[in-house]
């Protein structure tokens, strides 16, 4: 009886590992196809429709889907959606891990658009979010400040 239980537990563990590896492969393949649609085919409308597919929630977290949508909005220059996303990303309950990355993307966007007011808002939010953070977050903040000062010299 003991040996059967050990074999069963081993098979279940093996199946779980196989499923997780397949999900990782499917995630990578899906991202590659999405980037082809957005950047090579230059079709942000199809990209956004695909991201609204409910099956994507099996592969990606809501924050990851929001980040992907942000990329699509930036690629198609949909400023009102970008501003709505910015308000969400500035909120305190938004996940810090994705927040810093998305705020960095937003700062790059506003610097490219030469919108100093919005870029300063993002920079201030980043400073607030990374206050008391670890070394990696501090490095991100330094890089972001460098980007800001390159776009808007004093």
Sign of CA dihedral 93, 116, 47, 24: negative
Task: Quickly state the pLDDT bin for 3 (edges 50, 70, 90).
Answer: confident
pLDDT at position 1 is: 55
| Angle made by CA atoms 73, 28, 99, in degrees to the nearest 5 | 45
pLDDT at position 97 is: 59
Each residue of 26-66: pLDDT tens digit? 999 999 999 999 999 999 999 999 999 888 888 898 888 98
- Phi-psi bin for 95: left (phi > 0), alpha (psi -120 to 50), beta? beta
**Average of per-residue pLDDT values in the chain:** 86
Q: What is the mean pLDDT of residues 3-24?
A: 90
Task: Quickly state the pLDDT bin for 130 (edges 50, 70, 90).
Answer: confident
Residues 6+ apart with CB under 8 A from 96: 129
pLDDT at position 95 is: 63
The token duo for 63 is 């924050």
Query: Does 146 have pLDDT greater than 60?
Result: yes
């Amino acid at each position: 009886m003991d040996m059967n239980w050990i074999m069963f537990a081993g098979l279940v563990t093996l199946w779980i590992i196989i499923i997780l590896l397949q999900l990782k492969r499917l995630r990578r393949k899906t991202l590659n196809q999405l980037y082809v649609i957005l950047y090579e085919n230059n079709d942000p409308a199809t990209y956004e429709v695909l991201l609204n597919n409910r099956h994507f929630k099996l592969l990606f977290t809501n924050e990851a889907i929001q980040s992907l949508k942000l990329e699509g909005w930036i690629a198609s220059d949909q400023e009102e959606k970008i501003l709505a996303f910015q308000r969400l990303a500035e909120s305190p309950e938004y996940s810090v891990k994705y927040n810093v990355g998305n705020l960095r993307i937003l700062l790059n966007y506003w610097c490219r658009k030469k919108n100093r007011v919005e870029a300063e808002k993002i920079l201030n939010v980043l400073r607030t979010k990374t206050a008391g953070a670890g070394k990696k977050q501090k490095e991100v903040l330094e890089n972001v400040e460098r980007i800001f000062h390159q776009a808007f010299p004093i």
